[in-house]
C-alpha cells in the first residue's frame, strides 16, 4: 500500500469520535468573528457598530491578494469592532455580533437537496470561491482562490483531495466524508473544472475503511476521480507528504506543489467549495472535534465561526476532571490553549483534553546521537543538528541546512528518547531565518 517514502511515525490513533455523527452546535448569544487570519493580511471590517447583519452577509473584505473575505456567521446586531484575545494570547481585531434570531440571506440555498450539475465557467467558479472567503481548512488556512490561480507558466496536472486526517484524535474530516461524501465529490469536480485538470485523486488512510468504501462506491459515477487508500503514517496529511504518497513526486526545496503539477485541497475545503458554488453559502461554519480520553461525549460538531470555544465545550459536556492541558487542534500539530474564551476561527479543527499525567513534558536530557529524529523526519532534515545551530544562533548554517523546509509536524519531538525540545528550537530558528531571508529579499 502506498505511503510517503521518507521518515514518518505512527502515534496511537485514539479516534474516539469516529462513530459520532456530526451534531449542530447551538448558536451562542454573542460571537466574535476574527478578522485576522493565520496566513496573509488581516481583513478590513466593512460593517460598523449598530449595523444589523444576516447570516452569510459579508462583514470583512480581504486586503491584498493573500487574504480572505469574512462573513457573518449569525444574524443580529454588530455590537462593536474591537480586539479579542486569540488562541496564542495576543489581541487581534474581531467583529462582535449580538445574536438575534437566525435569519439567513435569501440567496443561500438551505434545502438539503444535493445539486450536482455546475454550468459555471472557470473564472466564475474562482470568483465565487473568493467571494465566499474560503480558506484551506486543513490547518494552514491558505486562501483557496490563490491556489486555483497558478502562476503564469505553471500548469496543474493533478488535483489531490486530502482525506488523510493523520492527526490522532481528530475525526471531523472522517465524519464529513461519511456524511457528505457526494457533496465532497461534486466539490472535487468543481475544483477540477476551475483548475482545468481531468484527474483527481482522493487520498484516505486505511484506518478509515468505511470512508474508503463509501467514497469508492460514490466515485464510480464521477469521471476522473479515483480514491487512493494509503498506509497509516504520520504526517501523511502534510501537503508534500501526500503528493509523494499518491504521485511519487517530490516538491523541490523551497517550492510550492504547483511546480510539479499538483494542487492539494482538504476534504473540508472541498465541501466548503461545494456549498459556496452550488448553494451560495459562504464560509460561516466548520466541523470540529471535541475529544479526549476522558471527554464525556467525544463528538463532532458543526460550529458557527466566532463561537467561543467555551460555549462549544460546555455543550459537549464541559471540561472533564483531571484535565491537565487543553489543546486547540490535534496532539501533534495543535497548540495548547491558555484560555477557552477564544473564538473559533476557520482553522480550528478540534479541542483536545489531555489528562494531567499526559500533559507534563519530561525533562530534557543530553542528545545521545541515536539519529531517531533524522530517520523519522518526513522532510529528510537533521533535527538534532538544527536544534544545536538554533541554540548557538548560527543562522547561516541553519539556512543552508534547509531549516525552512521544516513542516513543524513534531515527529522529531515525539520520537526523541531524551525528550529534547527539538521542534521548539526549530520553530524559533525558522522564524528568525525567515525574517533574515525576507529582509535580504526586500533590499
Partner 1 sequence: MSLVWISLITLGVIGSVSAIILYVVAKKFHVEEDHRIDLVEEVLPAANCGGCGYPGCRNFADACVKADNLCDLHCPVGGNETMAKVAEILGLVAVEKAPMVAVVRCNGTCEHRPRNNEYDGVKHCFIAHNLYSGETNCSWGCLGFGDCELACDFDAIHVNPITKIPEVIDDKCTACGACVRACPKDLIELRKMGPKGRRVYVDCRNQDRGHIVSKACEVGCIGCAKCQKVCKHDAITIENNLAFIHDDKCKLCRDCVIVCPTNSIIDVNFPRPKQPKVAVEEEVSQ
C-beta of 413: minimal distance to partner 1 in Å? Answer: 11
3-state helix, strand, coil in the chain (%, to 5): 30, 20, 45
C-beta of 339: minimal distance to partner 1 in Å? Answer: 7
C-beta of 335: minimal distance to partner 1 in Å? Answer: 7
DSSP 404: G
C-beta of 325: minimal distance to partner 1 in Å? Answer: 9
Alpha-carbon separation of residue 223 from 2, 184, 220, 411 (angstroms): 23, 14, 8, 37
C-beta of 438: minimal distance to partner 1 in Å? Answer: 16
CB-nearer residue toward partner 1: 90 or 119: 90
**Interface ranges with partner 1 (CB under 8 A):** 83, 88-91, 335-336, 338-339, 360-361, 364, 421, 424-425, 427-428, 431
CB-nearer residue toward partner 1: 176 or 342: 342
CB-nearer residue toward partner 1: 65 or 428: 428
Exposure class string for 318-345: b at 16+ Cβ within 10 A, else e: ebeeebebbbbbbbbbbeebeebebbbb
C-beta of 306: minimal distance to partner 1 in Å? Answer: 20
Closest CA to 240 of 2, 1, 402, 5: 5
CB-nearer residue toward partner 1: 177 or 426: 426
CB-nearer residue toward partner 1: 96 or 274: 96
Cis preceding-peptide flag for 235 (omega within 30 of 0): yes
C-beta of 294: minimal distance to partner 1 in Å? Answer: 20
Residues 6+ apart with CB under 8 A from 312: 25, 288, 290, 301, 303, 344, 351
C-beta of 390: minimal distance to partner 1 in Å? Answer: 9
CB-nearer residue toward partner 1: 97 or 326: 326
CB-nearer residue toward partner 1: 88 or 253: 88
Distance CA 350, CA 334 (A): 9
Exposure class string for 6-17: b at 16+ Cβ within 10 A, else e: ebbbebebbbbb
Task: Give the DSSP per-residue string, 10-36.
Answer: ------GGGGSPEEEPPP-SEEEEE--
C-beta of 83: minimal distance to partner 1 in Å? Answer: 7
What residues form DSSP beta bridges with 327?
A: 336, 352
Residue 178's φ and ψ, nearest 5 degrees, are -70, -40
Q: Which secondary-structure segment (H or E) carries 427?
A: helix 422-442
CB-nearer residue toward partner 1: 187 or 330: 330
Q: Which grid coordinates are listed for 64? A: 491584498
CB-nearer residue toward partner 1: 267 or 390: 390
Amino acid at each position: 500500500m502506498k505511503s510517503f517514502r521518507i521518515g514518518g511515525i505512527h502515534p496511537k490513533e485514539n479516534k474516539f469520535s469516529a462513530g459520532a455523527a456530526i451534531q449542530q452546535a447551538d448558536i451562542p448569544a454573542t460571537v466574535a468573528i476574527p478578522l485576522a487570519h493565520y496566513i496573509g493580511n488581516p481583513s478590513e471590517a466593512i460593517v460598523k457598530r449598530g449595523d444589523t447583519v444576516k447570516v452569510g452577509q459579508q462583514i470583512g473584505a480581504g486586503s491584498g491578494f493573500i487574504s480572505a473575505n469574512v462573513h457573518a456567521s449569525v444574524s443580529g446586531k454588530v455590537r462593536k469592532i474591537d480586539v479579542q484575545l486569540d488562541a496564542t494570547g495576543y489581541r487581534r481585531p474581531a467583529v462582535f455580533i449580538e445574536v438575534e434570531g437566525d435569519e439567513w440571506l435569501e440567496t443561500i440555498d438551505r434545502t438539503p437537496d444535493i445539486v450536482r450539475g455546475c454550468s459555471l465557467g472557470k473564472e466564475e467558479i474562482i470568483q465565487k470561491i473568493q467571494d465566499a472567503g474560503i480558506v484551506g481548512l486543513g490547518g494552514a488556512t491558505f486562501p483557496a482562490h490563490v491556489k486555483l490561480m497558478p502562476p503564469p507558466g505553471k500548469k496543474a496536472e493533478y488535483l489531490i483531495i486530502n482525506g488523510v486526517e493523520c492527526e490522532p484524535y481528530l475525526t471531523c474530516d472522517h465524519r464529513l466524508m461519511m456524511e457528505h461524501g457526494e457533496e465532497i465529490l461534486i466539490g472535487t469536480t468543481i475544483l477540477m473544472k476551475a483548475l482545468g485538470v481531468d484527474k483527481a485523486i482522493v487520498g484516505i488512510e486505511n484506518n478509515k475503511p468505511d470512508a474508503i468504501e463509501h467514497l469508492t462506491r460514490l466515485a464510480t459515477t464521477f469521471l476522473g476521480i479515483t480514491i487512493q487508500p494509503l498506509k497509516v503514517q504520520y504526517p501523511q496529511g502534510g501537503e508534500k507528504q501526500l503528493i509523494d504518497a499518491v504521485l511519487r513526486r517530490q516538491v523541490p526545496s523551497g517550492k510550492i506543489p504547483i511546480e510539479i503539477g499538483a494542487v492539494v485541497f482538504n476534504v473540508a475545503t472541498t465541501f466548503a467549495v461545494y456549498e459556496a458554488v452550488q448553494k451560495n453559502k459562504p464560509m460561516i461554519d466548520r466541523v470540529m472535534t471535541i475529544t479526549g480520553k476522558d471527554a464525556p461525549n467525544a463528538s463532532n460538531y458543526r460550529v458557527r465561526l466566532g463561537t467561543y470555544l467555551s460555549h462549544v465545550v460546555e455543550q459537549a459536556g464541559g471540561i472533564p476532571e483531571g484535565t491537565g492541558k487543553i489543546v486547540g487542534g490535534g496532539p501533534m500539530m495543535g497548540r495548547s490553549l491558555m484560555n477557552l474564551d477564544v473564538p473559533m476561527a476557520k482553522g480550528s479543527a478540534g479541542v483536545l483534553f489531555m489528562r494531567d499525567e499526559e500533559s507534563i513534558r519530561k525533562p530534557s536530557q543530553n542528545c545521545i546521537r541515536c539519529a531517531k529524529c533524522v530517520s523519522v523526519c518526513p522532510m529528510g532534515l537533521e533535527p538534532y543538528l538544527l536544534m544545536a545551530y538554533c541554540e548557538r544562533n548560527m543562522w547561516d548554517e541553519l539556512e543552508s541546512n534547509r531549516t525552512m523546509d521544516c513542516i513543524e509536524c513534531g515527529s522529531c519531538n515525539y520520537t526523541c528518547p531524551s525528550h529534547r525540545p527539538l521542534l521548539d528550537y526549530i520553530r524559533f530558528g525558522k522564524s528568525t531565518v525567515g525574517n533574515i531571508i525576507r529582509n535580504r529579499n526586500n533590499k
